[in-house]
Amino acid sequence: MGASGRLLRAVIMGAPGSGKGTVSSRITKHFELKHLSSGDLLRQNMLQGTEIGVLAKTFIDQGKLIPDDVMTRLALHELKNLTQCSWLLDGFPRTLPQAEALDKTYQIDTVINLNVPFEVIKQRLTARWIHPASGRVYNIEFNPPKTVGIDDLTGEPLIQREDDKPETVIKRLKAYEAQTEPVLQYYQKKGVLETFSGTETNKIWPHVYSFLLTKVPETTQKASVTP
Instruction: Provide the annotated active-site residues.
Output: 20, 94, 128, 161, 172
Sign, CA dihedral 123-124-127-130, equals negative
Annotated ligand binding at 65? The verdict is yes
Annotated ligand binding at 176? The verdict is no
Annotated ligand binding at 21? The verdict is yes
Annotated ligand binding at 44? The verdict is no
Annotated ligand binding at 38? The verdict is yes
Q: Say if strands 136-139 and 128-131 run parallel, antiparallel, or are unpaired.
A: antiparallel
Annotated ligand binding at 197? The verdict is no
CA distance 216 to 86: 8
Residue 9 C-alpha from the chain's centroid: 16
Annotated ligand binding at 98? The verdict is yes
CA distance 145 to 136: 10
Burial class (CB in 10 A: 0-12, 13-18, 19+), 59: middle
Annotated ligand binding at 136? The verdict is no
- Three-class DSSP category at 178: helix
Binding positions are 17-22, 38, 43, 64-66, 91-94, 98, 128, 137-138, 161, 172, 201
Binding positions for AMP are 38, 43, 64-66, 91-94, 98, 161, 172
Binding positions for GTP are 17-22, 128, 137-138, 201
